[in-house]
Amino acid sequence: TIDSIVQTLSYDVGYECFVSTSISGSNFTAGTYSISVAGADAAGNSMPTPDTSASIEIFSEYSTTLYSETDTRTSEEKPTTNYDGAEHLYIGASSSGRGRTYISFDVSTFEGREIQSATLTVYAMSGTCHSSFNNTDCSHDLGAEVYEILTDWDATALTWNTASSYDDTTVIDNTTINEAYGGGGSYTFNVTSLVQTWADGTNYGLLLKADSTGESTSSQVDVTLGASESSSPARLDFTYR
């Protein structure tokens, strides 16, 4: 902004101008500030009034961490079973069917805010390979994807048969859960665009599921994740202004 002001001044007076000072500091609060630039000749004689000015707006950025408010999983193998209250979530597939995870965060107090960045972290507790070789044939990893849920859902009633619809045309982000069999650790997803949608007033949570390879029943790899009832629930870290 300072550079553009000086360029304007250079154009106005017909000579190349330079900035000899800069504006810096940590005591600025959010708000609009006016900056004026006055010209001076080589002898130090300044013009009586500023030659040009501009306004700049300063925003304050904040960071916060939320943990899942509600979550549950669904199982194609048991399509009418509700798993609310279980300590573990689930994604992947066995020979009997697929499993998916539903997670929501309460961001109502941040509605109307501009989201600068947002990261979802989930914790893989363990993994299983349902193969005919006593769970030893599991050299491949499990791809995991995040999607936006489009309709309301109730964790106490959700089942595979009553699952909410989601936007299957857009993968918010994806990652690979390494060595799912016997694995563990934390995995992150960039969900900035999704959290901005929530902050804009539309929040039905997110769906976490395996990719098309991982959801194939021939793949037979699944991963259990920490639920809100566990010591390692899903976490959302984001900055906003």
Q: What is the pLDDT of residue 221?
A: 77
237 and 118 Cβ atoms separated by less than 8 Å: yes
Place of tokens 């599991």: 138
With 0-12 / 13-18 / 19 or more C-beta atoms within 10 angstroms meaning exposed / middle / buried, residue 42 is exposed
Q: Which token pair is 238?
A: 């984001």
From first to last of its 241 residues, what are the pLDDT tens digits of the chain?
555 555 555 555 555 555 555 555 556 566 666 666 666 666 666 666 655 556 666 667 899 999 999 999 999 999 999 999 999 999 988 878 899 999 999 999 999 999 999 999 999 887 666 555 444 445 567 899 999 999 999 999 999 999 999 999 999 999 988 755 455 689 999 999 999 999 999 999 999 999 998 888 666 778 889 999 999 999 999 999 9
Separation between Cα atoms, residue 95 and residue 44, nearest integer Å: 84
Q: What is the pLDDT of residue 236?
A: 98
Q: Report pTM.
A: 0.75
Maximum distance among all Cα pairs of the chain, rounded to whole angstroms: 89
Distance (Å) of CA 1 to CA 20, 52, 110: 15, 12, 29
Q: What is the pLDDT of residue 61?
A: 86
With 0-12 / 13-18 / 19 or more C-beta atoms within 10 angstroms meaning exposed / middle / buried, residue 14 is exposed
Q: What is the pLDDT of residue 161?
A: 97
